Structure 1
Amino acid sequence: MAYAIIEIAGQQIRVEPSRFYDVNRLVGDVDSQIDIDRVLLVNNEGDISVGAPVVEGAIVQATVMRHLRGRKVIVYKMQPKKKTRKKRGHRQELTRIMIDSISLGGSAIATKEQANG
């Protein structure tokens, strides 16, 4: 199983082809293609390439599926004996991306078709 560790939207995540991931909101239309060149590690069936800081010539191609908002997080602040209470809610703006392929040196090492069948 081939996978890569990428840096996108301030996060580092492990990605595999034909899987979707929720990341912090990205600029891009729905169904648009994005190329992620901040690839920190590529594992191709045991052949590991580690970047310093990024792997040269490695690109992960993804498709923006949709924009959504995460689950609500309640932030409750209270100061005891002062009758001070604050209740705030927060929902993170997210983008769901589908990983199409992982390329290393110009050749695709893992695509959707290879992962599914």
Structure 2
Amino acid sequence: MNTYAIIETGGQQLRVEPGRFYNIRHFSSLTSGRLERNTKILIYRVLLIRRKSDIEIGYPWLKGAVVKGRVLHPYFEKKITIYKMISKKKTRRKLGHRQKSTRFVVDSIFLDGEEIYE
């Protein structure tokens, strides 16, 4: 818990720690439609890094900061149902979709080419 980073990916800001896994809706930096297992990921949009009592904040991102990780597996989330009904017009419409998500694990956090340890 001493070392963590806050990253921006998939339209969200996440607090990530080395060795833990996270779920992301989509990676904005990846252009590939299909992510395979063990695909290496480098995330350069690092907003903040904390190691022990030292905090480094970027404006808007830290220069030279990289979070390295790999894809565990892509999957579909639970189905979202959208139901529209207009009363007195006899109009009903039921739609739904399943959002694509990716589970990835953070292997390490680098700052200026140096790996940060706990």
2:39 aligned to which of 32, 42, 45 = 32
**Structure 2 CA distance for aligned equivalents of residues 41 and 48 of structure 1:** 7
**How much is the aligned-residue C-alpha RMSD, in angstroms?**
1.4
Equivalent AA in structure 2 for residue 108 of structure 1: E
**Structure 2 CA distance for aligned equivalents of residues 35 and 51 of structure 1:** 17
Equivalent AA in structure 1 for residue 87 of structure 2: P
5+ long unaligned stretches in structure 1: none
Give CA deviations for 1:49-103 in whole Å, capped at 9, x if unaligned.
Answer: 1100101111100101111111111111111121111111111111111000111
Equivalent AA in structure 1 for residue 15 of structure 2: R
Size of the aligned set, in residue pairs, is 111
**Structure 2 CA distance for aligned equivalents of residues 47 and 73 of structure 1:** 42
Give the deviation of 1:14 after TM superposition: 1.2
Q: What is the aligned partner in structure 2 of residue 42 from structure 1?
A: 49
Q: What is the aligned partner in structure 2 of residue 12 from structure 1?
A: 13
More helix by share: 1
Give CA deviations for 1:30-54 in whole Å, capped at 9, x if unaligned.
Answer: 1121111110111111211110010
The range that moved more, 21-30 or 3-12, is: 21-30
Give the deviation of 1:25 after TM superposition: 3.2
Q: What is the aligned partner in structure 1 of residue 105 from structure 2?
A: 98
The range that moved more, 77-86 or 91-100, is: 77-86
Q: What is the aligned partner in structure 2 of residue 72 from structure 1?
A: 79
Q: Give TM-score, length-normalised by structure 2.
A: 0.86
